[in-house]
Structure 1
């Protein structure tokens, strides 16, 4: 029989206060019921990481519990928005010795093993993030109860940092939910929301925060029942039999190789650790896991991914002081095309009231359909959730009566300067005088757009990348008159929407498109020189790019690429000119994937280099890729030359580390530069300025002045400097 929780017992007592306890340490509370509550930190700690000090305090508390066992144990975080984010990422960054990393893993395994060996029922009472080492801590408990708070997530994202779960996660999760489901979580590094976690068997119950501690206490006393995790018969065969594991390993290994292209050592190592432990037993499995963590943590891939993590955290802090101004945000989006609808959708999903405005009913209908389609792809949303989101959007062709209450407006219309000036100029007159006015332009001058608006200090570029729902970068473009306040508010909004903002100057193409243009041009020159579409895209993909440059042109749209190219040529002159192949395809009506054909033909989800395109362009394959580095060198050095110009011109911040960090983040998040290199300039630094100078000088002789090394490369080679240092 289930024990009912009365209204008198639903409130949660506060976690230990800082008046009585030291920040950074876990604290043990013994209750009259005989249940012990192990608080992972005091109530003032906003972030709980498993530092060495905290792990030491956990060990002390668990020794106490071992010597004087309670009737039950509940392990919980200090607030409804924090359980624990896992291992101390700052400490991880500093480790350079695999032996040190292995020993740290063993220490963590020992502490969590103490939880598992207690004679009482142990319950992880989770609210807020429970990730990485935090999830591994919860796996050492008998039960996991999670709240329905928006911040509540659980998972093992270690592979995203180039490592594997090292505190027992690779051993306990497959035994708990079965190997197939465990690998789906571990290899992808994904986190689950409460309903997803319950379905996967990772948690046993979802409750409100007000009920959490009392309910967990009752469970630990066997007075309240929860769903027991059960592994299906098929998954048991696939987990606990040799032939089953072989089947899973073969399938998961092939999938992992396809996804990582062999560039990331962590997923295959995590796969092997799971299999090894199931075959050899828990003790040997844990030893193998710790050893592999030590090996992986000092790899270049892990160091690069950890550095990117810190860059994303710095990005999220750009507008942190303005976050409070976004409460109850009311927004206007002008233009219901793919970009505008995407922006409106993510604003509404993040609880803003949105007016989506377009000139035609057909446009509105297409925009709303796009939003519905995007929401349908988010599996953790219920139908009720989707309805609430859609109800926050007022889609109209008229001026809404709510315009006067809007705090923020953004246009996402056709890339025409005069049209944007007219639309935003008219809109500004209907908005409050302090409303932020943003343009989603990908290439036009924000300062020129601002000329049409009174108080240009509130005009700013907010450049989302397509598709809005997936691409994580937003370029915050500062016009000549844009205020620091406007920059902070828009950066805070980008973060609220789940994006990573970088602040860039108002130059043609801003940062990402400016760097990307020579790269795409060089793909055209390679075609012109006789390399095939297949070879060019294959070599770029082999390097680690998510897709080749020719395919990328088709995805972007050849009409869009042509327009951006015109802007770049107008801004930077002939050095931004390509071989003109895109123009020839556009004249034949080939706009890329959206029209069914560009450089590739697209038919029923099948795609192949287009014979028609080759004929139109007069392309014949004249060269085989003998030296596989040649194609990659031409593509990557075209990127580097322009990136170093941006670095030293201050396009992405003060020349030196500030700008280099933003360029690294921008190239990874905005154009898909391989994360395992750590960013474009991190890759350049790994080669060294002298090597890059030598390669560009060689290509200058072979290909002409477009490869003339820029001043910043020459100077750093002469001064033996990093790209993270300014030149004299």
Structure 2
């Protein structure tokens, strides 16, 4: 049975054919959509009662571009779907261009090369292939709130429908390179000023305006412009090449692990030298390479996984409606509490910020103000928005107003007695429907909320620092947490721009649990004789933003110390018993905030080598006694360092998946990328483990377990998942 038509053709009495893409939810460009577009455009060109064409999208959206889910399953789909699109016998009526190149017929010949003018009426968004469709038209009109962009590089691919050639010819090479290399979306006003949009019209009149504009082109009131033939916006050759050369230099710093940004720049440059049509042919050739690459598969996996996290059994099936969260109480105005408060008020949620005294309260309010001022200075918030957000913050040293709160988030230090005391007070003050949440990163939710009535409202809301910047939010449920409480927190997370991952209540939850070997194995390698700076350099070269020791300095020694006892009690001989933290604390080297840790900072955030660290390393190695047992760093390669640090993390990830701490392995991938900075181009920790090969990881861990001991012992979960190559992929 054929799918219902995804493209409608309506011809009005004014002689304008309206083509409407109707493929909910974002009018994605599936193979069916592209095939029907070709058919409808050809029909419009061949009909005598049609003078001009308007292309638009249904459901208040133009098009979000390619169908990523289909593309991830069949990487060549975006190109192969055009194989059946051919010129009609005898060509299009009055066609002026026949490239006859598979994949380019629709864009180059049928739309841009057709004899009848086509105008794109853009509302909502035109992204990726959606914008490429619009740019193939002879003019573009947009509603004021429309957003336009070519974000393909975020998926590890390049624009594949002529975008690398048309965008520079509409906005200039400089602006085009900026938009493509940063995946930046721009609003209609900026697009109009740049030349990407020809006119702006309020949405209710947009279609009629576009019809009139199209007729104006047909009547020669407006110019009939074919984008690939334009050169008026292209900079002089030497300047255009200089722009591309500078972009390459920047990409070497920001994208040194992947090829797709450099391929994109090469395709743009090719078109500048050879012309737009030749550029689109080269674009298709190079695009096929990128779409089938491992980074593209990994990035598409993460893209889809971020959208899957909201699918929670018995919660997201449509039977529950999220209750509005208008007022949130935040207990604690420290770095975490102030960050959480900032994230909420920026998104129009009223916050009651509680501290124990006026001095600490003012310090917390000052931190929130500083966070907001930083947004203003970066241009992401206006002064009016700053004042509006700050007006939503109410400070208090008691629980005044908490009786009307919809949600309270406890964000104090990791002290079980203190947290228990706070939840006891909240139980007596807050309403029955108020959700009681903790931002704890390590404490057992059942223990810190022991004695609280109506336990269905107990939940974890684990933000990552800085809370107003980091996108990940672990939503932690106990056996008693209601589906309604989870539903409410999922809705709030979306409102405040967080990506929620629902996890079970367990020590370390998901991210800290899976990554507990990260620092401990790094410390083990140091005690073997590998220098911390070499480890940091190797791990950063792998794609992490910073290495484990620089991260330790950033977080501060005290953060690790707060959770060390809990982890050691829970994980036993799976943890390497390092002396490093004790020795660093004794030397008062507690991290960046104090100016010295594993590195020296000299009053800035820039790390510098600390020669005095060698004495601490020597003492730690003596206490560890590994060298005395004949265990040394001799022969350990950079590849070994990467594997010895990350394979134990994959090992623990298998256990977390098997124990159903997370709903699905892809949730763990999202959490590892957004929470720990695991490189997105590697697809997250579980995806990466699958691509490396679980059997290989198992063999390596068995070797190290035999040589070094229990910290490398493979889990039964890894044994089980490694037994079949398809098991891990099924969990993803």
TM-score (norm 2): 0.86
The residue that corresponds to 1:455 in the other structure is 454
| Equivalent residue for 2:306, pick from 312, 321, 324 | 312
1:332·1:355 contact (CA, 8 Å) conserved in 2? Answer: yes
| Equivalent residue for 2:250, pick from 240, 252, 255 | 255
> Within 5 A, what are the aligned runs for 1:110-189?
110-113=105-108, 114-118=110-114, 122-149=118-145, 152-189=146-183
Q: CA deviation at 1:433?
A: 0.9
1:591·1:597 contact (CA, 8 Å) conserved in 2? Answer: yes
Alpha-carbon separation, structure 2, partners of 1:133 and 1:581: 52
Alpha-carbon separation, structure 1, partners of 2:677 and 2:351: 30
Q: CA deviation at 1:690?
A: 2.7
Q: Could you list the per-position Cα deviations for residues 548-598 of structure 1 after superposition, in whole angstroms to 9, with x for gaps in the alignment?
A: 111111222221122122221122224324412123223333332222222
Alpha-carbon separation, structure 2, partners of 1:237 and 1:254: 27
Alpha-carbon separation, structure 2, partners of 1:118 and 1:97: 27
Segment of structure 1 superposing worse, 585-594 or 497-506:
585-594
The residue that corresponds to 1:373 in the other structure is 373
Alpha-carbon separation, structure 2, partners of 1:99 and 1:137: 13
Q: CA deviation at 1:165?
A: 0.5
Q: CA RMSD in A?
A: 3.3
Alpha-carbon separation, structure 1, partners of 2:232 and 2:578: 58
- Does residue 349 of structure 1 match 2:346? yes
1:84·1:134 contact (CA, 8 Å) conserved in 2? Answer: yes
Quickly say closer, same or farther: Cα 1:333–1:592, change in 2 above 3 A. Answer: same
Alpha-carbon separation, structure 1, partners of 2:215 and 2:594: 64
Alpha-carbon separation, structure 2, partners of 1:392 and 1:148: 28
Segment of structure 1 superposing worse, 557-566 or 569-578:
569-578
Alpha-carbon separation, structure 2, partners of 1:391 and 1:103: 54
SS of alignment partner, residue 59 of structure 2:
coil
2:71·2:77 contact (CA, 8 Å) conserved in 1? Answer: no
Q: Could you list the per-position Cα deviations for residues 193-215 of structure 1 after superposition, in whole angstroms to 9, with x for gaps in the alignment?
A: 44554565544555543343344
SS of alignment partner, residue 727 of structure 2:
coil
1:323·1:493 contact (CA, 8 Å) conserved in 2? Answer: no
Alpha-carbon separation, structure 1, partners of 2:494 and 2:532: 38
SS of alignment partner, residue 158 of structure 2:
coil
1:685·1:722 contact (CA, 8 Å) conserved in 2? Answer: no
The residue that corresponds to 1:592 in the other structure is 591
Quickly say closer, same or farther: Cα 1:74–1:533, change in 2 above 3 A. Answer: same
The residue that corresponds to 2:418 in the other structure is 419
Q: CA deviation at 1:718?
A: 5.2
Segment of structure 1 superposing worse, 700-709 or 382-391:
382-391
- Does residue 79 of structure 1 match 2:59? yes
Quickly say closer, same or farther: Cα 1:533–1:101, change in 2 above 3 A. Answer: farther
2:459·2:481 contact (CA, 8 Å) conserved in 1? Answer: yes
SS of alignment partner, residue 279 of structure 1:
helix
Alpha-carbon separation, structure 2, partners of 1:389 and 1:468: 16
Quickly say closer, same or farther: Cα 1:421–1:273, change in 2 above 3 A. Answer: same
1:447·1:480 contact (CA, 8 Å) conserved in 2? Answer: no
Alpha-carbon separation, structure 2, partners of 1:108 and 1:100: 6
SS of alignment partner, residue 600 of structure 1:
coil
Q: CA deviation at 1:128?
A: 1.9
Q: CA deviation at 1:667?
A: 1.7
Alpha-carbon separation, structure 1, partners of 2:232 and 2:588: 55
SS of alignment partner, residue 494 of structure 2:
helix
> Within 5 A, what are the aligned runs for 1:117-516?
117-118=113-114, 122-149=118-145, 152-194=146-188, 197-198=191-192, 200-205=194-199, 207-220=201-214, 239-262=234-257, 264-318=258-312, 320=316, 321=318, 324-327=321-324, 329-359=326-356, 360=358, 361-376=361-376, 379-401=379-401, 403-516=402-515
Alpha-carbon separation, structure 2, partners of 1:55 and 1:210: 27
Alpha-carbon separation, structure 2, partners of 1:580 and 1:88: 52
Segment of structure 1 superposing worse, 695-704 or 512-521:
695-704
SS of alignment partner, residue 637 of structure 1:
helix
2:592·2:605 contact (CA, 8 Å) conserved in 1? Answer: no
The residue that corresponds to 2:718 in the other structure is 713
The residue that corresponds to 1:691 in the other structure is 696
Alpha-carbon separation, structure 2, partners of 1:135 and 1:63: 20
2:321·2:487 contact (CA, 8 Å) conserved in 1? Answer: no
Q: CA deviation at 1:75?
A: 2.6
Quickly say closer, same or farther: Cα 1:306–1:720, change in 2 above 3 A. Answer: closer
Quickly say closer, same or farther: Cα 1:574–1:180, change in 2 above 3 A. Answer: same
SS of alignment partner, residue 137 of structure 1:
helix
- Does residue 703 of structure 1 match 2:708? yes
Alpha-carbon separation, structure 1, partners of 2:721 and 2:364: 53
The residue that corresponds to 2:615 in the other structure is 615
> Within 5 A, what are the aligned runs for 1:629-644?
629-644=639-654
Alpha-carbon separation, structure 2, partners of 1:301 and 1:410: 38
1:101·1:293 contact (CA, 8 Å) conserved in 2? Answer: no
Segment of structure 1 superposing worse, 93-102 or 517-526:
93-102
The residue that corresponds to 1:663 in the other structure is 668
Alpha-carbon separation, structure 2, partners of 1:428 and 1:51: 52
Unaligned runs of 5+ in 1: 1-20, 230-235
Quickly say closer, same or farther: Cα 1:719–1:305, change in 2 above 3 A. Answer: closer
Q: CA deviation at 1:272?
A: 0.8
> Within 5 A, what are the aligned runs for 1:35-46?
35-41=16-22, 45-46=24-25
Q: Could you list the per-position Cα deviations for residues 447-467 of structure 1 after superposition, in whole angstroms to 9, with x for gaps in the alignment?
A: 122224211110100111112
Q: CA deviation at 1:287?
A: 0.6
The residue that corresponds to 2:12 in the other structure is 31
Q: CA deviation at 1:48?
A: 0.9
- Does residue 60 of structure 1 match 2:36? no
Q: CA deviation at 1:446?
A: 1.2
Unaligned runs of 5+ in 2: 86-100, 226-230, 622-631
Alpha-carbon separation, structure 1, partners of 2:708 and 2:306: 37
The residue that corresponds to 2:95 in the other structure is none
Alpha-carbon separation, structure 2, partners of 1:635 and 1:571: 20
Q: Could you list the per-position Cα deviations for residues 269-319 of structure 1 after superposition, in whole angstroms to 9, with x for gaps in the alignment?
A: 111111111111111111111111212111122122222222112113335
Segment of structure 1 superposing worse, 70-79 or 632-641:
70-79
Alpha-carbon separation, structure 2, partners of 1:342 and 1:555: 16
Segment of structure 1 superposing worse, 490-499 or 129-138:
490-499
Q: CA deviation at 1:343?
A: 2.0
- Does residue 679 of structure 1 match 2:684? yes
Quickly say closer, same or farther: Cα 1:288–1:256, change in 2 above 3 A. Answer: same
2:173·2:234 contact (CA, 8 Å) conserved in 1? Answer: yes
Quickly say closer, same or farther: Cα 1:395–1:169, change in 2 above 3 A. Answer: farther
Quickly say closer, same or farther: Cα 1:714–1:79, change in 2 above 3 A. Answer: closer
SS of alignment partner, residue 474 of structure 2:
strand
SS of alignment partner, residue 601 of structure 1:
coil
